[in-house]
Structure 1
Amino acid sequence: MTSLLTPPGTSSRISLWNARSPGIETDRHGLGVEAAARDVDEIVVGGGLTGLITALLLARAGRRVTVLDARSIGAVATGNSTAKLSVLQGAHLQQVAGRNTPGVTQAYVDANLAGQRWLLDFAAQHGVPVQRRAALSYAATSDGVATVEKEYETAVSAGLPATLLEDAGLPFVTHRAVRLADQAQFDPILVLAALASELRAAGGTIHEATTVLGVRAGQPVRVRTTRGEYRCERLVLATGTPILDRGLYFAKLSAERSYAASYRVPGGALPPDMYLSVDDPSRSIRTTPDAGPDAGSGELLLIGGNGHGVGRHPSPASLVDDLEQWTTTHWPGAERTHAWSAQDYATPHGVPFAGWLPRGRGRVFLATGYSKWGMTNAAQCAITLAGDLVGDLPDWAVRLRHRMTLPAAVATGIGMNAAVGKHYAVGWTKALTRRLPVEAPAEGTGVVGRVGLSPVAASTVDGATCRVSGVCPHLGAVLTWNDAEASWDCPAHGSRFSAAGRRLEGPATVGLARR
């Protein structure tokens, strides 16, 4: 199947970072060390930035640690991000300020500064290339000017040396921008590779292709996986969204999908900094060194945006196409090299959850809800989790943990769950009022219909037609077809599955049954 997320001349949808990965060494199953790796002090589930930093901090403290990942290191959020290490985060600071007390807003900024500082220090110590850039939040329309000005005021009140500009200096009209100097960008896979290397050198173990199926939070904690049982004193869930329903975090998060692509631009006239629009449609802009065989000392342009609720847009492919057209309009002749997508989770109050999981008996911990700012927030949440597990919790983490829930955050949460309820009702009504067509869907398309009393999802990809359950195994929402990625997506809580039913990500722990 040729998808809009498939670069010309290739057949895979893979991020630039993963495509040029140097290879990350992990531990094979079945080796003599495996028995010891199955009975440890802490198990960390999730091989992204949060998981590996947490595991490394624990290993540095002398703990025996094993990391489990259902896929491979960097396969999900971290390896598909735009990897901006910035404390200026679009219009996010004013959202945090509007839903929390001033003290919590300051603690959020302090936490992100700490996360940024930790990653910059780590990169310097391990020779990971980092490009220092200014970050700009700009208004693409006059309607966004007030948002830019509010972000500037919020940043300055939190002690950030932001400046207000009349223009962002981009090759199209902008209406004011707020700028924060001396931020950073990097290749996230290179960071993960360095983290994995130090973790293993410190005695930690990394097992990929190991899906967690269930947890018993006793003494020890027993973790049931597709590779057998693991045991630990304490368990950390660093899985984007928690894969355990204790605490009902799926109801406290909204899942969003967004898209990105890298381009070679003739003439090399590229923007010098990192940019993000504050109005819709969202546009993220940065560059990265070109590591291609004919690159020389040039750079690639990275464009991202067009986010939407997972499973809630009728044609994600149209959003990818729109992003492509926008890029080639403003950078004529731009040639796409890679295209990919990412999934992020947001909390009602704009601040990540990090700490112990309710009903986990003080033995299960989690981090989630980075609102698309996973570089600084992953690091600060890892520092928080390590502080919980070995002591020395930072002051900003204590302040974030004791935040009050303000009416604005409550209203946001109510709106999130009202939208979920709507998609349950609409999905089931549509599925039960139309029969699944007898004929196979056209190439690259999918449809949900009734077979007997059950919704069944049928799709055709690369000439093969598959029929799977049309109901998400997490909590029973009817799935929708993602025509950009050939996947079945859940509009309720963000679980995703391949056309053949294999689980890709989200709170579901199993795939779709064949029908």
Structure 2
Amino acid sequence: MTTTDAPGADLPGVPDHADVIVVGAGITGLSTAIMLRDAGRRVTVLEQEVPGALASGRNTGKASLLQGDQLSRIRRHHPASLVRAYAHANRAGQEWLRRACERAGVAVREATAYSYAQSVDGLDAVDAEVRAAREAGLPVRRVRDVADDVPFPLAGAAALDGQLALDPAELMRGLADLFVASGGDLVTGVRVLGVRATDPVRVRTSAGVFTGGAVVIATGAPILDRGLYWAKTSGFRSMLVSFAPPPAGEGMPEGLYLSVDDPSRSIRSADWGGRTRLIVGGGDHRTGRADTAELLDEILDWTRAWWPDAAEPEHWAAQDYRPHNMVPFIGRMPRGRGRVWFATGYAKWGLTNGVAAGIRISHEVLGARRPDWGRTIGTRLTMPADFARGAVEGAKVGAAAVRGWVGALRAPEADAAPTPPEGVGGIARRGLRPVGVSTVGGATCEVSAVCPHLGGVLHWNAAESTWDCPLHASRFDHRGRRIEGPAIADLARAEAAPLEVVLRAARSSATAERDADADAAEASERAAVGGEPATGG
């Protein structure tokens, strides 16, 4: 049993072989790892940062089966059986999460979840969600008034009692402690660079090579290009702001609120870190394609309109991935010879979907019969509307790529451009090479502005002081260090990256994970996994 910050290639006390290696210590990775440890497997979890560093530890803390208009959105394009399976999967995830919180000593509060309309124009969406939820077997109520004396506009809502509210950061610490206490190995400060689906599987990392009988890729967006899941999902970010409540606590909701109409608003109260806070979310946007400072201002203005005395705002954001066919991808990864699993596409509902993914993956790794809902989701058909959404998203990605390069080639030369003021970043160029120049903490830094994944020109995120890719949502800090997304490399420092090197790195992304088994025939892989397609459905 080991917890360590990796000092380099030498990791004393950490075994270099495990039955299962889990990449990523978010909700999917840790829940899967705990389930496998409970079954007696030797498990090593590899994490680039700390457990819950990204969306798993930085969300609203709602583990709810009523998810805005999610069920009705799925139902519009898929049969009722798939919506029912999705709801059952989330229920299984929620129930496991409740038990895990009890084991880990993580505080959980039951609350009523509301999918609400901000005006009468949104009531049709509320009614559609009620119908879809009831068809899926959830006891959702249609209400005109809510139990809370909330100040913001509310024309009506769908309501579901007994949902879970928690502190996501506390949850992730608790799950990490639970995993380590069970005898698991948690290695932080290690970046995974590639996977070879040999026997045993070889996981290449910044700290050397780990081997295992199986690998679970639990990194939000899969860091392997097999299956091209970055092209089957879209990366979105949501803004979150925490406020000190009004002095008398007026209008502080007990329920968990999420609007079904625009602009999207998520509202709840929370006791986090010994402080009572009002949590307001919104500003949903495609990563790298929005003015994040403007979105943040909109949330601040909206909150102060309804809670004028709310104070001490603290803001952050979280990223998730929406599948074009509306339902998460979970299962064996293509060209993984039945030894590589993954999960992605939770559409902002990772606390329940992520655990459901862990349940399904752990069953398959252990050779157990997967749940009925897992078989239904795993054998779903791709509908014509799914292809249409994929085509539209592909066109948008192409347009974003063109806009980025056209804008970069029209940018001023870096030596002639003024130094950005504090908190500001912008694109310049050195010859034909786009560079990103920003000033953060009083220091001006210049990095390559070309994403090493597929060559998109990056966009400055003013609210978070990061460089974000508008193509497939990879993100980097202002110094160029990779944060998240399908990219696995840092940005080159601009002075060390000639244009041909930058472009070569971008072009090579699509083949970076092509390992020794790349030429294995599809028939061979199907035989290795008992004939089951390895599409991760």
Q: Normalising by structure 2, report the TM-score.
A: 0.87
Aligned counterparts of 1:452 and 1:319: Cα–Cα separation in 2: 33
Structure 1 residues 393 and 447, CA gap change in structure 2 (3 angstroms): same
From 137, 152, 156, give the equivalent of 1:172: 152
Alignment map for 1:258-407 (pairs within 5 Å): 258-265=238-245, 266-269=247-250, 270-289=252-271, 291-292=273-274, 299-313=276-290, 315-336=291-312, 338-390=314-366, 391-407=368-384
Q: Percent identity?
A: 46
* Cα deviation 1:383-422 (Å, max 9, x = unaligned): 0110110023111101100001112222222221111111
Structure 1 residues 475 and 393, CA gap change in structure 2 (3 angstroms): same
Aligned counterparts of 2:430 and 2:14: Cα–Cα separation in 1: 48
Q: Give the residue type in structure 2 aligned to 1:211.
A: R
Partner SS, residue 504 of structure 1: strand
For the 8 Å contact 1:261–1:336, the answer to whether it is kept is no
Is 1:484–2:470 an aligned residue pair? no
Deviation at 1:290, TM superposition (A): 5.1
Aligned counterparts of 1:194 and 1:72: Cα–Cα separation in 2: 13
* Cα deviation 1:232-285 (Å, max 9, x = unaligned): 111101000000111000100100111112222121121120000111111101
- Which position in structure 1 is the counterpart of 2:40? 62
Aligned counterparts of 1:28 and 1:374: Cα–Cα separation in 2: 26
| Number of equivalences | 485
Deviation at 1:427, TM superposition (A): 0.7
- Which position in structure 1 is the counterpart of 2:66? 88
Is 1:49–2:27 an aligned residue pair? yes
Aligned counterparts of 1:28 and 1:449: Cα–Cα separation in 2: 37
Aligned counterparts of 2:209 and 2:374: Cα–Cα separation in 1: 33
- Which position in structure 2 is the counterpart of 1:142? 120
Is 1:514–2:490 an aligned residue pair? no
From 212, 221, 237, give the equivalent of 2:201: 221
Is 1:430–2:407 an aligned residue pair? yes
* Cα deviation 1:396-453 (Å, max 9, x = unaligned): 1011000011122222222211111110111111111333342222222222133112
Structure 1 residues 442 and 286, CA gap change in structure 2 (3 angstroms): same
Q: CA RMSD in A?
A: 1.7
Alignment map for 1:425-504 (pairs within 5 Å): 425-437=402-414, 438=416, 439-504=418-483
Is 1:207–2:187 an aligned residue pair? yes
Structure 1 residues 143 and 514, CA gap change in structure 2 (3 angstroms): same
Q: Give the residue type in structure 2 aligned to 1:493.
A: H
For the 8 Å contact 1:45–1:239, the answer to whether it is kept is yes
Structure 1 residues 431 and 181, CA gap change in structure 2 (3 angstroms): same
Q: Give the residue type in structure 1 aligned to 2:153.
A: V
Aligned counterparts of 2:486 and 2:492: Cα–Cα separation in 1: 17
Partner SS, residue 241 of structure 1: coil
Q: Give the residue type in structure 2 aligned to 1:459.
A: S
Q: Give the residue type in structure 2 aligned to 1:289.
A: D
For the 8 Å contact 2:104–2:178, the answer to whether it is kept is no
* Cα deviation 1:470-501 (Å, max 9, x = unaligned): 10001101111111111110000000111111
**Higher mean Cα deviation, 160-169 or 84-93?**
160-169
For the 8 Å contact 2:118–2:153, the answer to whether it is kept is yes
Q: Give the residue type in structure 1 aligned to 2:16.
A: R
Partner SS, residue 302 of structure 1: strand
Ranges in structure 2 where 5+ consecutive residues have no aligned partner: 495-537
Aligned counterparts of 1:206 and 1:371: Cα–Cα separation in 2: 27
Ranges in structure 1 where 5+ consecutive residues have no aligned partner: 1-24
* Cα deviation 1:355-404 (Å, max 9, x = unaligned): 11111111111011100001110110100110110023111101100001
For the 8 Å contact 2:80–2:135, the answer to whether it is kept is no
- Which position in structure 2 is the counterpart of 1:7? none
Structure 1 residues 104 and 34, CA gap change in structure 2 (3 angstroms): farther
Structure 1 residues 406 and 122, CA gap change in structure 2 (3 angstroms): same
For the 8 Å contact 2:413–2:431, the answer to whether it is kept is no
Aligned counterparts of 1:201 and 1:487: Cα–Cα separation in 2: 35
Alignment map for 1:95-106 (pairs within 5 Å): 95-106=73-84
For the 8 Å contact 1:436–1:448, the answer to whether it is kept is no
Alignment map for 1:178-193 (pairs within 5 Å): 178-193=158-173
